[in-house]
Structure 1
């Protein structure tokens, strides 16, 4: 199987779109599965209380922060494998170092993760009731969090290698297992104990155990995604740290900032927080499409960068960007037309639904901008320029989202204020990412400059 995704600069956009879509669709479906999985978790615990919805929803937001730490191993693995495949080099060292780093990062979280995470939630504005519910959900997840970090490395290795179908199949297995066991353990069906919110956490753990076993079986039986040689090159480790560290730092600070931002909403009560979580779940269908194409853009960028095919890289990325913006723009139209109907899927409380409608109408207007920001960010990461997304994402989030929200909330105390600035910030961030990408690609394709350094 030829895993190289190289783009001919003379190819028409329809041909490129088909090639990229073939790569991206399994990733999109994998991310949609995750969106469905987390959404079903909210639906299942909604039968307990609105506090349970707020707790599980906020916990999932905080887990984004925690899993940002795995970005060091995941991003380094994915980008380096893509670049090495494009350059015709053995990807083994990147995969091995990714597994080692993931394990070392996850171990401390096993013992202290749940306590630290729920303490942060209270500091960000969550009520003690929400924090207590969150702790029940997070305790089993952190106990086995090493599994999740190792799964990320396998996922990144397959994607960087150009095989996106296998991770989708395993994600399908994980999602179905999570949903089934969460239901059984939340409500104590078929003789199993009734664990309520904790049951949702154990459902995720059981699913991740099964997913990791599936990856191990594929390697032992079929040497997939590729045969691994015991080669731990020091230069590969240093490059992985150089590429992965900015992304890990970016995701950690951005996720922490996001939870500070959510805390601004949480100050208006559990119903406002629940509405925010419902809005996120509905929007996640569109977001996961963009996230899937972003991973595809990283793969295309990384492989073509490794092969020195800079003009093909630009042709491929521009096609992905416009295609993603079109799809997410259409999703935004549906959010505008049916916000109330989508909200009622997750919660029946009329007050929560009314607030969620405001959220969805506001974010619907920024879906195409989110698409462009995601794709150009992914392209820069694929080229190894991970320090640029670090600077853009952090500065944009604080300058255009958190600080203006904090100021305006003093005069207009409403959760609508941070939601408006969330949409404004997405638009400005997309513009900045476009300008940064154009600057880098113009340097790469200039006839007088062969390549600019990766750091």
Structure 2
């Protein structure tokens, strides 16, 4: 088991770091915009980012990219690099088409999207500019996600980490220069944050593309479309993407309901979501690494090894996110205060309470994320989707409609509801995971 833990750490740490670095883009945009523009700036960036990342994650980040990782990993586990190459090339072709389509939607219909989301006039004007500029960066972000999926399938999580590191250095640097107008650069506020994010995403993609020469096979767009392989990718990507959609769309709908409570509640909620995102990125990192490790083991038909990877990933993710839970309980006021002007005392007070409630859900969230990744490594993306669909659409959404939308209860109710949802999802996933793996017991015990 110790050997497996070391391998999980060596593969997962770069993946965890990569997820954290990607989320830091949102964190630093929110932090600096909050210091420069207060509630309105935070709301504009928060709402626009929430909408864009929701659909990007559904289609690419947790959809097609995860499918590529799983199929490439299983092919490499079978020592079939030619098959892995085909899955990678076909997946990238399909992904490029989706990425360009999403770019056009965000660029052309930015105002319509935000208006439909119920954005106030000031938030709408700022958010429209932010979304339109960021749509260019989001295209390159989706392309980077596709390449990262290939790298992870080949057990390389260090190259995607390098790309994310470059992205953050550029994003943070230009955030400071363009939001506040430092060293002769224009003071652009929210627009500056958008330009910084876009520049970072472009450089990240270029780095990943350049490094692709070191993959065990060559990436190319010249090969003909193979509909059988496209079908295999879609068959795995659709349930995985729908699982992300079942979660992310409800999260987006929740954000829109919170918007109706006013900019105070929305800005406090966005700040807490941003802080919490630093915590659950390690969970996603361990989940993604478990897809590759379990997938390789299944390709080797080594079921005992797959079980050990699963248990090790669960242990490490729970420890890391449990640590963040303690931090959220001990220092909530200080963390929230980092993201807003000191004069915004009501936002800080409300955000502090929400963050303390959110601390309770960290470990259940870690277990849910990793078990979902493990099941995808086994080649089953339908079961995690069904469970996520039930807990989000059957429990979380109805409770939010009743308490937040209809009765306009305080934003603290939002966080109580999400804690209930994650706890139930954790319990259900554990039950079904044990049933799923019971058929492998005779191999595991050998």
Q: With structure 2 as the length reference, what TM-score do the two structures score? A: 0.92
Is the Cα–Cα contact under 8 Å of residues 93 and 232 in structure 1 kept in the other structure? Answer: no
Alignment counterpart, residue 398 of structure 2, candidates 399, 403, 415: 403
Q: Distance in 2 between matches of 1:381 and 1:122?
A: 37
Alignment counterpart, residue 308 of structure 1, candidates 283, 296, 301: 301
| Aligned match of 2:265 | 272
Alignment counterpart, residue 50 of structure 2, candidates 41, 57, 61: 61
| Aligned match of 2:132 | 139
Alignment counterpart, residue 14 of structure 2, candidates 16, 26, 29: 26
Deviation at 1:430, TM superposition (A): 0.7
Alignment counterpart, residue 187 of structure 1, candidates 175, 180, 191: 180
Deviation at 1:125, TM superposition (A): 4.1
Q: Distance in 2 between matches of 1:321 and 1:214?
A: 32
Q: Which has the higher helix share?
A: 2
Deviation at 1:241, TM superposition (A): 0.9
| Aligned match of 1:389 | 384
Deviation at 1:104, TM superposition (A): 0.8
Q: Which runs of 5+ in 1 are unaligned?
A: 1-11, 448-455
Is the Cα–Cα contact under 8 Å of residues 67 and 237 in structure 2 kept in the other structure? Answer: yes
Alignment counterpart, residue 430 of structure 2, candidates 426, 431, 434: 434
Deviation at 1:446, TM superposition (A): 4.8
- Alignment deviations for residues 274-316 of structure 1 (CA, whole Å, 9 cap, x no partner): 1111111211221111111111111112111121112221121
- Alignment deviations for residues 42-62 of structure 1 (CA, whole Å, 9 cap, x no partner): 122121232101111222222
Q: Does 2:71 align with 1:75? A: no
Instruction: Please show how residues 41-440 of structure 1 align to structure 2 within 5 Å.
Output: 41-46=29-34, 47-67=36-56, 68-70=58-60, 71-90=62-81, 91-114=84-107, 116=109, 119-219=112-212, 222-224=213-215, 226-228=217-219, 230=223, 233-347=226-340, 348=342, 349-409=344-404, 410=406, 413-440=409-436
Is the Cα–Cα contact under 8 Å of residues 93 and 231 in structure 1 kept in the other structure? Answer: no
Q: Runs ≥4 in structure 1, deviation > 6 angstroms? A: none
Is the Cα–Cα contact under 8 Å of residues 159 and 208 in structure 2 kept in the other structure? Answer: no
Q: Distance in 2 between matches of 1:382 and 1:129?
A: 45
Is the Cα–Cα contact under 8 Å of residues 94 and 236 in structure 1 kept in the other structure? Answer: yes
Q: Distance in 1 between matches of 2:382 and 2:109?
A: 28
Deviates more, 1:359-368 or 1:144-153: 144-153
| Aligned match of 1:453 | none
Q: Distance in 2 between matches of 1:434 and 1:116?
A: 42
Is the Cα–Cα contact under 8 Å of residues 63 and 244 in structure 2 kept in the other structure? Answer: no
Is the Cα–Cα contact under 8 Å of residues 324 and 371 in structure 1 kept in the other structure? Answer: yes
Q: Distance in 2 between matches of 1:143 and 1:207?
A: 11
Q: Distance in 1 between matches of 2:323 and 2:37?
A: 34
Q: Distance in 1 between matches of 2:114 and 2:354?
A: 21
Q: Distance in 2 between matches of 1:114 and 1:279?
A: 28
Is the Cα–Cα contact under 8 Å of residues 124 and 259 in structure 1 kept in the other structure? Answer: no
Q: With structure 1 as the length reference, what TM-score do the two structures score? A: 0.90
Is the Cα–Cα contact under 8 Å of residues 103 and 136 in structure 2 kept in the other structure? Answer: yes
Q: Distance in 2 between matches of 1:48 and 1:408?
A: 30
Number of equivalent positions: 434
Deviates more, 1:200-209 or 1:437-446: 437-446
SS at match of 2:66: helix
Q: Distance in 2 between matches of 1:74 and 1:283?
A: 24
Deviation at 1:164, TM superposition (A): 0.8
Distance 1:232 1:162, change over 3 A: farther
Distance 1:364 1:232, change over 3 A: same
Q: Which runs of 5+ in 2 are unaligned?
A: none
Deviation at 1:148, TM superposition (A): 1.6
- Alignment deviations for residues 347-401 of structure 1 (CA, whole Å, 9 cap, x no partner): 1311011111111111111111011101100111122211112211122112221
